Amino acid sequence: MSTKPVFSVCVYCGSRSGARPEYETAATAVGQALAAKGWRLVYGAGDVGLMGAVARAAQTGGGATFGVIPQHLLDWEVGKTDLTQYIVTENMHERKKVMYMNSDAIVVLPGGAGSLDEFFEVLTWRQLGLHSKPIFLLNTASYWTPLMQLMQHVIAEGFADASLLDYVEEMPDVAALSAALEARSREILA
């Protein structure tokens, strides 16, 4: 008997909650939406900041959770060990690889340098044709607007083709993100 494949969404986000309450509200809504659709959350296994908010919301909604944390961050990000699956990796590179390999789509919520690192890595891989997974930026409270402007500047200054923007979909809210993920899940699981 075969089991139905599960659509898995990798969420990159901050290990802090940020300066605006909207960030945590959106992270919670993302976790709730994933659980409501029966999709699996793939994330950095932290129990703090936006990471903790999205995971707790997915768990509360009965959703599957797949957390990946490197050994050296177990204390700092407070590894959330009550997940459906919990993996401890040797280093950050391995963490990012495991998260990427176990997901069908990428969602980037507000976050700091780590979230930017994760975003630019999957964006670069997409630009190089190494994958075709969609990359969604949830632009809560216009957080990612400066990033989108920077990408336009990179293009205007001749360091990337305009096609770079084709690899990123900016989402204004969780409802739009959920609809975009729904469309992608139908393609993957069809």
Query: What percent of the chain clears pLDDT 70, i.e. is strictly above it?
Result: 97
Cα angle 40-169-183, degrees, rounded to a multiple of 5: 50
Question: Residues 129-144: pLDDT tens digits?
Answer: 999 999 999 999 999 9
Average pLDDT over residues 11-25: 98
Listed in sequence order, the DSSP H helices in 38-62 are 49-60
pLDDT score of 74: 77
User: CATH fold of 12-189, please?
Assistant: Rossmann fold (3.40.50)
Average pLDDT of the chain to the nearest whole number: 94
Q: φ and ψ at 135, to 5 degrees? A: -120, 115
Question: Residues 44-88: pLDDT tens digits?
Answer: 999 999 999 999 999 999 999 999 999 988 777 778 889 999 999
Report pTM. Answer: 0.94
Task: Provide the residue ranges of all domains of the chain, joining segments of one domain with +.
Answer: 12-189
* Type of residue found at 44: G
pLDDT score of 4: 60
Q: Report yes or no: 9 and 135 within 8 Å, Cβ to Cβ.
A: no
Burial of 27 (0-12, 13-18, 19+ CB in 10 A): buried
| Token pair recorded at residue 103 | 């997901």
